[in-house]
Structure 1
């Protein structure tokens, strides 16, 4: 299954430019804002963070600019991370970024992360067993009082993405799925506009590791 996912997403990233993907946005402003708010709510400061499904997003650089370090960029697609690695190579603080090619369901983090971020990976996990495994991995990775910020398709969002079925969640559903390891700090709904103008509903939830 992991090999299938890798081939699928490598094919996407080798055949399309960033602006040709539905999830593209030039800046990850919502992610940056929610991470900052979640950390402030817990009285912590930016530290070690993992971006799950980092792809080719500029979030890696934006996190570095906001004082997060080290930044772990995890993605099942080596092709995507190679593009991000090439961008980051121009930065003086490039040594603060760690690239991990892995399916999140197969990843075995040692722990100690202050924050976990995921925009648009969790909704590809459509089976309860996959979702439970994801939550267990996040709980193992994030330290006590650390934060998790997750964005998934909302109840009115698409039913498929890149030819794959997705699960759709509201804030209450995310809260239930991540309890009791994580407690809800805040939630909101966002309308994402694709590069060609289509609207996609996203649900965002910020949670604290108990």
Structure 2
């Protein structure tokens, strides 16, 4: 994936004017809370962009947060927003990196969260690189919360092609070491009031 492309996206558009923007990413927080993890569990949000999820996680008391995105501009916007809210950002691990090629600490994370990144992996090479990193970085029995476009969702996002998924197709793509715990379809309303269908899933990694 192109870092320059995503830098241009975040430099040219306000954070609340990209199609995936959520004013309240409450469903994701509900998913994370359903796992009943301690507040010091290690959570990584890959492709976090300028999402407000990290705000909610801090406000909910989670203390071991890691955010990763290709765009340094997006992460800087998140830093500034959190600081304006008076939220402590000193303990957050910030990484500007490509999730396909970054070297993450092995067996480090309790939760891997991805909303609208994996569906940009349209080649087998990128899909395998991504999943290799998930398997390397998650603790045994750790969790992956993964949201992609549903099988009848959009065919493109931000001008780029995407891969759409049913539960069965996603399970086949992930492989037998990911056990499906929960799934549901979400109708996401974009900032310009159009509908996008997302498939939201929770998996447990059994290596």
TM over 0.5: yes
Does the 8 A contact of 2:153 with 2:198 survive in 1?
yes
User: Which of 11, 23, 36 does residue 14 from structure 1 map onto?
Assistant: 11
Does the 8 A contact of 2:58 with 2:87 survive in 1?
no
Cα distance in 1 for residues equivalent to 2:174 and 2:32: 17
Which structure has the highest helix share of the two? 1
Q: Deviations over 1:50-69 (max 9, x none)?
A: 00111001111111222322
Range moving further from structure 2, 26-35 or 197-206: 26-35
Is 2:139 aligned against 1:146? no
Q: How many residues align?
A: 203
User: Which of 27, 43, 49 does residue 43 from structure 2 map onto?
Assistant: 49
1:108 is paired with a residue whose SS is coil
Superposed displacement of residue 92, structure 1: 4.8
Q: Deviations over 1:10-54 (max 9, x none)?
A: 1010111122211111111111111222x13xxx43411000111
User: Which of 181, 203, 207 does residue 207 from structure 1 map onto?
Assistant: 203
TM-score normalised by structure 2 residue count: 0.93
User: Which of 100, 104, 109 does residue 104 from structure 2 map onto?
Assistant: 109
Cα distance in 1 for residues equivalent to 2:87 and 2:23: 22
Match of 1:77 in 2: 71
Q: Which runs of 5 or more residues in structure 1 are unaligned?
A: none
User: Which of 33, 54, 58 does residue 36 from structure 1 map onto?
Assistant: 33
Cα distance in 2 for residues equivalent to 1:32 and 1:84: 17
Match of 2:169 in 1: 173
Match of 2:117 in 1: 121
Match of 2:23 in 1: 26
Superposed displacement of residue 165, structure 1: 0.5
Cα distance in 2 for residues equivalent to 1:54 and 1:73: 6
Q: Which runs of 5 or more residues in structure 2 are unaligned?
A: none
1:157 is paired with a residue whose SS is coil
Match of 2:57 in 1: 63
Seen in structure 2, the aligned counterparts of structure 1 residues 206 and 12 have a Cα distance that, compared at 3 Å, is same
TM-score normalised by structure 1 residue count: 0.92
Is 2:152 aligned against 1:159? no
Range moving further from structure 2, 167-176 or 88-97: 88-97
Q: Deviations over 1:159-184 (max 9, x none)?
A: 11111100001122222222233211
Cα distance in 2 for residues equivalent to 1:65 and 1:19: 20
Does the 8 A contact of 1:49 with 1:69 survive in 2?
no
